[in-house]
């Protein structure tokens, strides 16, 4: 059974930092992992993603402030968020796609973690 468990969200003042973690289990191998966010009344958007080889991609709005990384041995992904702004306030979701032991290729989501940045 595939499971993605996020942690690290919370309330922080503008200019502060938070580190999100996403632990994945149940995969045979994970290809792409990513962080998405959804603010109230808005669509879910990509924040950043990282491939198994380490290549990364960031939304323009977070470039230079957020850093995505992963530990393949632990099947864990991280998002270091610095210089946070009130507009970063959202529920942050972890996504992972890869092969199951059955041979199926799936994409799964975590339950989400709230990040609130006060001005």
Structure tokens at 86: 């009130």
Neighbours of 29 (CB within 10 A): 12
So what's the pLDDT on residue 58? 98
Span 28-36, mean pLDDT?
97
Span 7-33, mean pLDDT?
97
- Quick check: helix, strand or coil at residue 45? strand
Span 16-36, mean pLDDT?
97
Residue pair 12/90 in contact (Cβ under 8 Å)? The answer is no
Neighbours of 110 (CB within 10 A): 22
What is the number of alpha carbons within 13 Å of residue 9 lying toward its C-beta?
Answer: 19
Residue 11's pLDDT band, with cuts at 50, 70 and 90, is: very high
Span 51-75, mean pLDDT?
96
Rounded to whole angstroms, how far apart are CA atoms 62 and 49? 12
Residue pair 91/114 in contact (Cβ under 8 Å)? The answer is yes
Residue 73's pLDDT band, with cuts at 50, 70 and 90, is: very high
Neighbours of 75 (CB within 10 A): 19
Residue 22's pLDDT band, with cuts at 50, 70 and 90, is: very high
């Amino acid at each position: 059974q595939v499971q993605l468990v996020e942690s690290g969200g919370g309330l922080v003042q503008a200019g502060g930092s938070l580190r999100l973690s996403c632990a994945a289990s149940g995969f045979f191998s994970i290809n792409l992992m990513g962080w998405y966010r959804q603010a109230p009344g808005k669509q879910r958007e990509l924040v950043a993603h990282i491939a198994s080889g380490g290549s990364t991609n960031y939304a323009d709005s977070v470039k230079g402030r957020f850093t995505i990384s992963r530990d393949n041995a632990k099947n864990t992904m991280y998002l270091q968020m610095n210089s946070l702004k009130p507009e970063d306030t959202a529920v942050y979701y972890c996504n992972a796609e890869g092969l199951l032991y059955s041979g199926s290729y799936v994409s799964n989501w975590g339950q989400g973690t709230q990040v609130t940045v006060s001005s």
